[in-house]
Amino acid sequence: MNKQFNVALIGNPNTGKSTLFNALTGLNQKIGNFSGVTVERKTGKLELTENLTASLIDLPGTYSLYPRSADEHIALEILNSTKNPDYPNVVVVVVDATNLKRNLLLLTQLIDLQLPVVLALNMMDVAEQSGIEINVTLLAEKLGVPVVAVTARDFQGIPALKDAIIQQFEQPTLPSSTIHIHGYAPEVIDEIKNYFHINNDYAAFELAHHYHELNNLTQEKKDAIEAIGLKYNFNANKTQVAETIDRYNYINEILSDTVRKIKPALEETRSNTLDAILTHRIFGLLIFFVILFGVFQSIFNWSQYPMNVIENAFIGIENYLTAILPAGILTNLIIGGILPGMSGVLIFLPQIAVLFLFIAILEDTGYMARVTFMMDRLMKNFGLNGKSVVPLISGIACAVPAIMSARSIENWKDRLITIFVTPFMSCSARLPVYTLLISLVVPNKFVFGFLSLQGLILMAMYLLGFVSALLAGWLLKLFIKTKSKSYFLMELPVYRMPRWSNVGITIFNKARTFVMEAGKVILAVSIILWVLATFGPSKDFDAIETKYAKISSKNTTVELNSSTLESKKNAEKLEASYAGLLGKFIEPAIKPLGYDWKIGIALVTSFAAREVFVGTMSTIYSVQGDGEHLDTVREKMLEARNPETGELTFTFATVMSLMIFYAFAMQCMSTFAVVYRETNGIKWPLIQLFTMTAFAYIAAFAVYQFLS
Amino acid sequence: MELRKLTDIEIGTVATIDSFTDEETSILLLEMGCLPGESIEISNIAPLGDPIAIKVSGYKLSLRKKEAATILVR
């Protein structure tokens, strides 16, 4: 018999829940989203016996069933509806054995919901080293649920945990309520129980608290609960305070004779010493900036080689396909639309991988929590939160995973502002654009003999992105009003060595998210752009074909010229294409910024991903062969002149204006899509698109007018 | 002994939580293990003067001074 059932993994943040999830499922994981919301849904296959396989779901870390962030809300939503497809048959509560008291709060709530639970005491090795002695047998006896000691990082206790899960599935032991819930609001609980035909006091009490935020309830039911609450003057705050205090009293009683501290915790002492240095008034900030600088350097240095490999691989594939595929529209689509789209996605993977390698290490060691702690004061001024630091740093690689990482911010206003300003951070798609533009106007000289002038300008662009993100946050703070107060409550976990398997899996998952989320948009837009650039009004296209057919028939003897001719023809075709028409259409609008219609085409195509600018430029300036040869593009651009006036196209003023435009404009469909999903509506991405692009326009206009 | 705000005690002094002055904040604090009767200690302060880190219920918690000031200790 092959039975299928659901097991949920739940626990406080920093309990090693992910490590346990990885230990239980290996790489057999699936990442998706919970239906309707964009919180990451991680599931995996848990093989219990030969015939028994469970679906294991990793619920986002939460301190209690009173959710504060979008992440935490998920657990409540799933556990409150037996009809939810993820509703578990068994719940594994993961707790940090070194920090039982606060961790057990959630357990008692789950017991009171009458869910079959298994308590996994994780990090038993650390507990032992710290001189904490836990009487596991007595703890299980007093709690009335199976308790298993595990050390997820070296797989200890995993078989016993599996046995306990099977036991709770086949013959669940459900202890009676840990506290007397009924007394908090007797009438309310009774009426809700009657209304929903349920017999669990705590489930009814939970409904009274959370009905307004539960998506599985119909409006009618929400109204009914609201009416019951009003009828008996239900005080959510007071009852929650009473519940929490009672739960801790229960926990204190449970722990009184099951946990003993036999010597002062070594780990904790060491952690405190580290904190004294790492969050020191001066050294703390200094160390942070050194680390940040190192991360920054590594992103560029380490990813250089793999990026070249990917680039060359695509050139190879392109050449190969050009050689073997029959000439025709389909081949053109593959080579001109699909391949560039795919390379435009994959080229960023090395930088994203390197960045998340560092972020994963910094988070896993506990250092990131200290960065959050140190930066909160500064961020607060700009409508942000200490927790905005991770999204902002991630924004250096790509805004898409960065914006998704803002989910951990509890306060909606802080989170919204973080989402809004993250695209100002200079992402990796801007880098090739900046590199090309800087090389046009900034001489390759060194200041003080060792500082590259071009490098300095590039750094200034990154700084500009960061400063404008902060300023945008400060402005938004004045406009967005919310009722909820901004607060900052965060655990500072004990410093630990990073768990490399966790780091690896994080990198893998982030890279996959990027390819799936940003990748599909970039690919789709790339194909659309190919269509726009390949087709045009047939009358004009036919004329070009006839013209070049004549020329080449005259020139058949001159082999050398045929490729030059071909690229000239392509350039003319691009001008006549729909993309070209679009460029000309917007030319009057962008002329005050110093751009002509050719740059206009590049601005339009950049909405797929900004780095498409470089490829478009090389097509427009009819660079032979592939567009990867930056030097050739550069030379052609330097020589480009306005056919009417004879002036150079890329003057200092135009280039500066372009850089400013690319720094501020929201030219990224993937970001638009992800903001749409994260904010649950079209309002914020539209505001973002409009204000950022309008600001970019004004700033570029000002720069051009000032410099020219 | 007279009650003081948590923000008024020195780093390293161990005090006992007595009560809270803000109901909404107290719910969050209670959940995180800041309970009346529990001992509490300011462990360190962020480089820019805010937030602060406290030791409570066997672990380290960081919170802004604004929130810390709602905790009365004795």
| 475-494 of A, contacting B, C-beta below 8 A | 485, 487-494
Reported as a pLDDT band with limits 50, 70 and 90, residue A554 is: low
Q: Identify the pLDDT of residue A2.
A: 45
pLDDT of residue B52: 94
A670, part of any domain: yes
Name the residue among B73, B39, B71 with its Cα closest to residue B56: B39
Indicate if the pLDDT at residue A483 is higher than 70: no
The helix (run of H) or strand (run of E) holding residue A539 is: helix A538-554
pTM higher than 0.90 for the full model?
Answer: no
A547 and A580 housed in the same domain: yes
The answer to whether residue A466 is domain-embedded is: no
Radius of gyration for chain B, computed over Cα atoms and rounded to the nearest angstrom: 11
Q: Is residue A416 part of a domain?
A: yes
Q: Check CB contact under 8 Å for B44 and A276.
A: yes
CB < 8 Å to B35, chain A: 245, 248
Answer yes or no: is A156 within a domain.
yes
- Mark whether A627 and A522 lie in a shared domain: yes
User: Going by DSSP bridges, is the β-strand pair A117-122/A147-149 parallel, antiparallel, or unpaired?
Assistant: parallel
Residues A609, A693: one domain?
yes
In 3D space, the residue among A616, A622, A523, A510 whose CA is nearest the CA of residue A563 turns out to be A622
A496 contact residues in B (CB cutoff 8 A): none
DSSP-assigned states of every residue in A92-129: EEEEEGGGHHHHHHHHHHHHHTT--EEEEEE-HHHHHH
Domain stops at, among A150, A170, A190: A170
Interchain pair A374, B64: CB under 8 A: no
Instruction: Say how far apart CA B27 and CA A85 lie, in whole Å.
Output: 31
Number of H helices, E strands in chain B: 2, 6
The pLDDT tens digits for A208-226 are 999 888 888 889 999 999 9
Amino acid B13 reads T
Indicate which of A12, A99, A102 best probes the interface with B, i.e. most B CBs within 10 Å of its own CB. A102
B20, B62, B65, B70: best to mutate for the A interface, most A CBs within 10 A? B62
Read off the pLDDT band of A1 (50, 70, 90). very low
B46 and A376 within 8 Å at the Cβ level: the answer is yes
Query: What is the SS3 assignment for A500?
Result: helix
- The amino acid present at A544, given as its one-letter code, is I
**What is the band of A627 on the pLDDT scale with cuts at 50, 70, 90?**
very low
Out of A252-256, A261-265, A392-396, B44-48, least confident range = A261-265
User: pLDDT, tens digit, for every residue of A335-358?
Assistant: 877 887 788 788 888 888 888 899
d(C-alpha A395, C-alpha A423), whole Å: 7
Question: Is B61–A489 a contact, with Cβ atoms under 8 angstroms apart?
Answer: yes
A108-161 pLDDT, tens per residue? 999 999 999 999 999 888 888 878 889 999 999 999 999 999 987 778 899 999
A88 confidence band (pLDDT: 50, 70, 90): very high
Domain residue limits, chain B = 4-73
Q: Which class in CATH covers the domain with range B4-73?
A: mainly beta
Confidence of residue A367 (pLDDT cuts 50, 70, 90): very high
**A chain contacts of residue B22, beta-carbon cutoff 8 Å:** none
Checking if the pLDDT of A623 tops 60, the result is no
CA distances from A103 to A157, A344, A426 (A): 19, 45, 39
pLDDT digits (tens, 9 = 90+) for A426-442: 988 888 889 889 888 88
CATH of the domain at A103: 3.40.50.300
Amino acid identity for residue A197 in this structure: H
Rounded mean pLDDT, A552-567: 62
Q: Is residue A272 part of a domain?
A: no
Q: Which of A325, A306, A318 is nearest to A342 (CA)?
A: A318
CB proximity list for A259: less than 8 A, separation 6 or greater: A100, A132, A133, A134, A135, A139
State whether A24 and A163 are in the same domain: yes
SS3 readout for A332-356 = HHHHHHHHHHHHHHHCCHHHHHHHH
Asked whether residue A457 is assigned to any structural domain, the reply reads no
In this prediction, residues A363-371 reach a mean pLDDT of 90
Q: Are A312 and A237 contained in the same domain?
A: no
Contact state of B61 with A101 under an 8 Å Cβ cutoff: no
ipTM above 0.90, yes or no: yes
Instruction: Supply the pLDDT for residue A98.
Output: 86
Rounded to a whole number of angstroms, the CA Rg of chain A reads 30
User: Which 8-state DSSP code applies to residue B36?
Assistant: T
Cα distance from A286 to chain B (closest Cα, Å)?
A: 10
Distance from CA of B1 to the nearest CA of A (A): 23
Nearest-CB residue to A64 (from B25, B31, B46): B31
Domain tally, chain A:
4
Q: Cα torsion for A275, A281, A285, A290, to the nearest 10°?
A: -80
Cβ distance A80 to A200 under 8 Å?
A: no
Same domain, A427 and A301: yes
Range of the domain at A310: 283-452+473-500
- Asked if the Cβ–Cβ distance from B30 to A376 is below 8 Å, we say no
